Structure 1
């Protein structure tokens, strides 16, 4: 078993959700649907952007108890956000705190670009906050839609049957843990 984890919105808290009581977030104002934008919304002082609650503890458990060395980070972003994301991971001592190998960090420039990475790595599980991204990951049998925004789910709702929707790291960990204990594939 191998798991891929998105970064923005899954590990790194999105700026627009820092003070938002609604788990699905507001409708975005900006480019039209389908326009490529930066996904990882970091604060201006990006190192101060907090992790998603429970993310580090959960990823550490994924490494220690379920997937071992087969935990990968896969993120879509531009060069500027890639540099900031690398610095954010270092600043938060992510690798030492979770056990994820630094060499297991992969970036691509388009949302569709995650699919060939997932296929090449042989991922069996993937966690992303975008249903659109998960729709491209046809080689990954277990796909988890993490704290999605309602507008994005509405836009790509035809793909909902292929994913399991979760709203928190504890919920995701319980779902993966239950499946691992029973030996049932959770797709």
Structure 2
């Protein structure tokens, strides 16, 4: 199976904040304030390389309701996210509850997932073999998930992608 990357949106791609806090500007502020909210530090330095390393097989998998879904899609366009990262425009999935991310991961064959919530990683633990807990965290990080405190640290995810098998040389018949 080809490696496939899943990435959470809130507090991973956009609006990184302290552990246990919400990005109130994006969630509760005006639409204009949400559009002006910044991308996570380093996301545009690292994510394009990861999308390329995964051969474009990368999806945003986010939990939200209809209002935040609309803001998320608008923000992605407003920030030229697809153009800046190479993530295909149609590769965005939404669900209403965090554990439902496991269903998307299973359906898409996600092999590597970046999310800031430990409860999501618990839900995908039997589905996704490579799990990355993103951003600052309260407390200890379990040994069954890899902590990536920042996008600079997430650069190492490409090392977890198995090398593609080399095609065998064809023998000439005589």
Q: TM-score, normalised by structure 1?
A: 0.76
Structure 1 unmatched ranges of 5 or more? 18-24, 29-38
Give the aligned length. 156
Q: 2:113 aligns with which of 122, 126, 134?
A: 126
Confirm whether residue 73 of structure 1 aligns to residue 35 of structure 2: no
Distance 1:46 1:102 in 2: 20
Name the residue aligned to 1:57: 45
Q: Which residue of 2 aligns with 1:179?
A: 160
Distance across 2 between alignment mates of 1:51 and 1:133: 21
Larger helix fraction of residues: 1
Unpaired runs of at least 5, structure 2: 165-174
CA contact (8 A) 1:115 1:136 kept: yes
Which runs of structure 2 are paired with 1:1-187 in the superposition (5 Å)? 1-14=3-16, 17=17, 25=18, 28=21, 41=24, 42=26, 43-44=29-30, 45-64=33-52, 66-137=53-124, 138-150=126-138, 160-174=142-156, 176-180=157-161
For 2:90 and 2:62, locate their aligned partners in 1 and report how far apart those are by CA, in whole Å: 14
Contact conserved, 1:134 with 1:143, CA < 8 A, in 2?
yes
Q: C-alpha displacement at 1:149, in angstroms?
A: 3.3
